[in-house]
Structure 1
Amino acid sequence: MKSDEALWQEIEQTLRWERTIDARQIRVHVHNGVVTLTGTVPNMLEKQAVERALQGVVGCRALVMELSLPSESTYVKSDEMLASRIVAALSRMPELSADRVCVETEHGCVTLTGPVDTEKQRHAIETLICKIEGVIGVSNQLAVREPAVDDVATQITLALSMRLKREIDSISVDISDGIVTLSGIVGSLDEKRAACLAASQAQGVRQVIDQLGVA
């Protein structure tokens, strides 16, 4: 079993080596395998980065996060002002309708609801909001919209006609809960890759399952 001293050294080293973390204001205490972090981090995004960095440390029986944000220790912006800043930030995001995302704030905790086009867009919105001063936590309840079969098929057809000058007649598209399954026969590995890439870029697609064969 790893000693508390060895575990403390590994935690300290992990935090120092992680480029996305400024560990100068983080203090580490270890007792019987329980790691407690105290101090401050500049924003919610970095707080999440600390938690992710330490998830793989062997010997850590429990992780206690007592890291505070500057907004908690110095001043707390009103929820109304915070909501206004979030809405303004979202309005500057490309390809996102202003009324698409519903924002709720309570004591610095933000809840996001509404439909988005892709999982990438869903993650980008959360990342943006975590950087906003005054945000204590984010509950991301945004839902990726179910793509239409015609939209995915059109995307694939466009990609194949532009890159490989072929049609999509031999490709079957099945969609369930944002997961697209492609089956059928295509003429080459290049065409197979192009079809999968095109399907993955269609709005609402979370995953592509490739069951295409090559003639």
Structure 2
Amino acid sequence: MKTDAQLKQDVEDELEWDPAVKATDIGVEVSDRIVTLSGHPSSYAEKVAAEKAAHRVAGVKAVVVEMHVRLPNDDVRTDEDIANAVRSVLRWTVGLREDDVKVQVEKGWVTLSGEVEWAYQSHIANRAVSQMRGVTGVSNRIDVRGDVDSEDIGTNIARAMQRHAERETKHIQIKVQDGTVTLSGKVGSYAERQVARGAAWSAPGVRAVIDNLVVE
């Protein structure tokens, strides 16, 4: 098992390696394999990228986020400008209907609400907005319509995992309740974890995904 010092070095190296992150913007501390990220990333997209980078490092048990976005002067936009830009981006995003997602912006923080048919539509809306200039944060409050039996949801996710994964997925437990999928168990890599999460988000009737998977 890696020591906290080794994990700290690995996380710092991963941040340095990720082209979406300016490593000097981010501070890293590790205690009992829990990583705390601090500092002032220059965009919300960089903040999200830093979180993902820390999660990718083998041995990390959890990530605590204490980062606060500090936009460069050239990236500062009015809330009205951001709202108009977000609506435009969502309008041009494949798989979304313009009227499904409502937008609210306060001090650069975007709140998405409304209803969509599939969980992946909520996911792509959140991802599209997260990459936008001038955005300091995103709250995704989009509800997912649909009423699919929990057993059917679990079966569909398990079949998708078997199609996508390179090894058996019996080590992954899938629990479904009221459209919320909880994944637990141990996976061999971050890539395998992403496969499981992607399969869960893509299943009809899924409203939310809780990822309790542990990367060995």
Q: Report the TM-score when normalising by structure 1.
A: 0.58
Identity across matched positions, percent: 26
Aligned-partner Cα distance in 2 for 1:119–1:178: 17
1:9-88 matches, cutoff 5 A: 9-17=9-17, 19=18, 21-30=20-29, 35-41=36-42, 43-55=43-55, 58=59, 63-71=64-72, 76-88=76-88
SS where residue 105 of structure 1 aligns? strand
Aligned-partner Cα distance in 1 for 2:151–2:87: 27
- 1:117 aligned residue: 117
- 2:140 aligned residue: 140
Query: Given residue 96 of structure 1, which amino acid in structure 2 is its aligned partner?
Result: L
Deviation at 1:121, TM superposition (A): 1.4
| Aligned residue pair count | 160
Query: Given residue 30 of structure 1, which amino acid in structure 2 is its aligned partner?
Result: E
- 2:212 aligned residue: none
| CA distances 1:25-70 after superposition (whole Å, capped 9, x unpaired) | 43435386774432434x3233112113324564778745335243
Larger radius of gyration: 1
Deviation at 1:4, TM superposition (A): 6.2
8 Å Cα contact 1:113/1:142 also seen in 2: yes
- 1:96 aligned residue: 96
Aligned-partner Cα distance in 1 for 2:63–2:127: 26
- 2:204 aligned residue: 205
Aligned-partner Cα distance in 1 for 2:65–2:111: 23
8 Å Cα contact 1:179/1:205 also seen in 2: no
Instruction: Indicate the larger mover: 94-103 or 54-63.
Output: 54-63
CA RMSD of aligned residues (A): 3.8
Change (3 A) 1:178 1:51: farther
Which runs of 5 or more residues in structure 2 are unaligned? 156-162, 164-198, 207-216
Which runs of 5 or more residues in structure 1 are unaligned? 148-174, 183-192, 194-199, 208-215
Query: Given residue 149 of structure 2, which amino acid in structure 1 is its aligned partner?
Result: S
Deviation at 1:137, TM superposition (A): 0.9
8 Å Cα contact 2:7/2:30 also seen in 1: no
8 Å Cα contact 1:8/1:28 also seen in 2: no
Query: Given residue 92 of structure 1, which amino acid in structure 2 is its aligned partner?
Result: W
